[in-house]
Amino acid sequence: MSQVPSSPPALAATPQHAGAAPATDALGMDGMPSRFGKYTLIRKLATGGMAELFLAIQKSVAGFEKLLVIKRILPAMNQDRAFIEMLLHEARIAATLSHPNIVQIFDVGQYDGQYFIAMEHVHGEDLRSIVRQMKKKEVLEFPLEHALAIVLGMCAGLSYAHEKHELDGSALNIVHRDISPQNVVVTFTGDVKIVDFGIAKSDTRIGEQTKSGKLKGKVPYMSPEQARGESIDARSDVFSTGVMLFELTTGKRLFKGTSEYETLRLICEREYPRPSDIRSDYPPDLEPIVMRALAKDANDRYQSAREMQADLEDFVRRHQIAVSHIALNQFMQGLFEDKLAMQKEALLQGKQLADIIEMQHQMSSPDVGDVDASGRHATSTQSMPAAARTVTDMSTAAHRKKSGLVMGIVAGVVGLAAMAGVIGYMLVKNKADSAARSAASLSEPAAAVKGSLSLESDPPGASIWINGDLRAEVTPATIAQLPTGVALDVKLTLDGFEHAREQVTLDAKGPAHVKLDLKKGAVVVEVKVGPEGAAPTFVLDGKPVTGPRIEAVTSGVSHKLVVTSPGFTEQTVTFTGNAMETKRLEVSLEKTPDKHMANPARANAGSATTATPQPAGAGKLNVGASGGWCNVAVDGTARGATPVAGLELSAGTHRVTCTTAEGKAQSATVTVPADGTARYKFTL
């Protein structure tokens, strides 16, 4: 399944900002499978502006295995504490939702400094992929019974979420805000699932910026009130559902402008076509349902998804339409027959690799594994000979495959088999010692001996990580109740400094003491400035620096670089770098318009300059981009990714900067009229 994060990206984090991954056992060209805490990542599904999605497997005692999806937040996002708090809050809200038509959230946490969400694995395809596959198969229109089955499932899931209450009975008032084809998945068993409640809005959100001007969701499926940047409720999701019902039953896009701004105008200002304008044979009693869901005024719309669901069910009963999960299942199986076979083979081989990694992990770190009811660490349910046979069987089968990808995976497995053989030899060699240690451990009392660790850092105040888990304490601190006799991976982190790491093995004699010196994190910034002929000067965080190569820049924090050149408009770039990273930025300067050139009257040094009076009042600003997306800053303050709409500003001139994911920046001066709306679009 392709569970794709919402786009456009919410912040300036890109696939290139992968950062330093935690220390894991990595295999294959792309490092998959690999360990990630208690999960094994099998393969990457997608990368978005905020997160990466992985297919993963969780193993536990007695052969327990669970397939799921890990949404891992990109390292660049970890610097934004407000974003992390919002993410964790929204994930906690989403985790309370348990409904057949909503993807379940199982776990929210962090490992080795990376935040993640573990969610239900849905074996299916989103509606966008289904429509594309229909075109490949030359299926000319979406069957009405399947379109209705999908929208009915959406209404059921949304009504459950909209009506969700706290334990004390107070309403959560959850709104999804991004109902779109990418976030509705049909499984290969004929079920309908709404995914990505990750940007869902709840009245219990902590510190939400309701007037940030940031639009969340896909523009062509936004309600008018959402497109205008106004407050929204459940009726906004109803409108988005109506858009999808229109498109599924007519086969035509409803809102598709030449640009995002044109699309927003179509939603907010134009009259909507009726389904019968597109299809003369459109069911006459289905059209009123569609048009009521698409009412511009939320008060004229269905007031709940449940109301819309009831009308659709009445329509299905009147016309005796064969809405069926079995029929939808058969439809999906027929569309994706070839892909299903490939997925099954890839999943089988990924799981076999994951089994071997799990076995190696348990042999190398037996005290990190799962614990059974007695308090003892559980051993692997798979023996070494079984693992070796698995590798042999898979290698034999792989010779019949022509796929280069599969051959690459098999090569990795064969390498692991060789490694497994070496480990097996070592185990046989030390059989007597192992048996003696096992007998000794069985004779020990159940209560394990604990130790303590005293930690200091220079400078103090560093965060403490032990075996990949973040502790509540900061240095200096003494941590008790730690296991003895095993190596503990101790890591200290502090903003602006490189990470410090040390392995410590504790005993019962007394507290161990560790003091680590933290070195200032250093980033090298290389700036490429165009066009040729410009003579740029650089100001970093308000201080002049020598460029275009800037050294000794503090890592892990956000920096603002201002580039100026005579005759060109000033450009500003915001960036964050990791320790020991070389950050490459590209800045394209624009010629200063004549009207912005220096006033000749200023040649008289004795004359006083008079500032142009700014108009009184306030207005709004909309910022978009064609040819991609960018992060918008107004007067040096970040305002989110394009499109930015309904941003309230004081009337007058404002400096607007558009920075792409690659670090390219453009700036413009925009005049906001009093009681009006200014619009500006960057061309990327």
**pLDDT tens for each residue of 354-394:** 555 555 445 444 444 443 333 344 333 333 332 222 222 33
Give the three-state DSSP class for 656.
strand
CA–CA separation, 52 and 559 (whole Å): 24
Report, as an integer, the average pLDDT of 566-594.
Answer: 82
CA pair distance 391, 382, nearest whole angstrom: 13
* Cα distance between residue 541 and residue 543, in whole Å: 6
Query: What pLDDT is attached to residue 476?
Result: 92
Q: How many angstroms from the chain centroid is the CA of residue 656? A: 26
Q: For 142-173, write each residue's pLDDT tens digit.
A: 999 999 999 999 999 999 999 988 777 888 88
Q: Are 93 and 204 in contact (CB under 8 A)?
A: yes
Is residue 63 pLDDT above 70, yes or no?
A: no
CA distance 278 to 552: 62
pLDDT band at residue 574 using 50, 70 and 90 as cut-offs: confident
CA angle 624–131–629, rounded 5-degree value? 15
Neighbour-count burial of 256, counting CB atoms closer than 10 A to its CB (0-12 exposed, 13-18 middle, 19+ buried): exposed
Using omega within 30 degrees of 0 as the cis cutoff, is the peptide bond preceding 459 cis? yes
> How high is the pLDDT of residue 367?
44
State residue 612's pLDDT score: 47
34-334 is classed CATH 1.10.510.10: yes
Q: Does the pTM exceed 0.75?
A: no
Coil, strand or helix: which one is 101? coil
- Across the chain, mean pLDDT equals 75
Predicted local distance difference test score (pLDDT) of residue 210: 38
Q: What is the pLDDT of residue 655?
A: 85
Q: In what side-by-side order are the strands of the sheet with 184-187?
A: 124-126, 184-187, 192-194
pLDDT for residue 268: 92
Query: Would you tell me which CATH number, out of the four given (2.60.40.3070, 3.40.50.300, 3.30.70.2190, 2.60.40.60), belongs to the domain 523-598?
Result: 2.60.40.3070
Q: What is the pLDDT averaged over residues 201-212?
A: 45
Confidence of residue 285 (pLDDT cuts 50, 70, 90): very high
Q: Pick from 500, 495, 498: which is nearest to 558 by CA?
A: 495
Question: Model confidence at 613, in pLDDT bands (50, 70, 90)?
Answer: low
pLDDT of residue 102 exceeding 90, the answer is yes
Integer-rounded Cα Rg, in Å, for the chain is 29
Which of 237-241, 335-339, 513-517 ranks highest by mean pLDDT? 237-241
More confident residue, 343 or 54: 54
Q: Does domain 611-683 have CATH number 2.60.40?
A: yes
Question: Average of pLDDT values for 613-633?
Answer: 76
Instruction: Look at residue 185 and tell me whether its pLDDT is greater than 50.
Output: yes
Residue 136, pLDDT score: 87
The pLDDT assigned to 308 comes to 97
In the prediction, which pLDDT does 601 show?
A: 42
Kindly report the three-state secondary structure assignment for every residue of 144-203: HHHHHHHHHHHHHHHHHHHCCECCCCCECCCECCCCCHHHEEEECCCCEEECCHHHCECC
* DSSP-based three-state secondary structure for 645: strand
What number is the average pLDDT over the span 81-109?
83
Output the pLDDT for position 140.
Answer: 84
- Asked whether the predicted pLDDT for residue 605 surpasses 50, the reply is no
Q: What is the pLDDT of residue 673?
A: 87
Cα–Cα distance measured from residue 176 to residue 526, given in angstroms and rounded to the nearest whole number: 41
The confidence score (pLDDT) of residue 184 equals 95
The more confident residue out of 349 and 28 is 349
Of 70-79, 96-105, 356-365, 614-623, give the lowest mean pLDDT range. Answer: 356-365
Q: What per-residue confidence (pLDDT) applies to 92? A: 79
Identify the pLDDT of residue 662: 65
Shortest CA distance to 353 belongs to which of 44, 1, 34, 22?
A: 34
Q: Where in the chain is the domain with CATH 2.60.40.3070?
A: 523-598
More confident residue, 558 or 457: 457
By annotation, the residues acting in catalysis are 178
Report the distance separating Cα 622 and Cα 450, nearest Å: 60
Helices 234-250 and 305-319 pack at an angle, to 10 degrees, of 30
Confidence of residue 241 (pLDDT cuts 50, 70, 90): very high
Cβ(275)–Cβ(292) below 8 Å: no
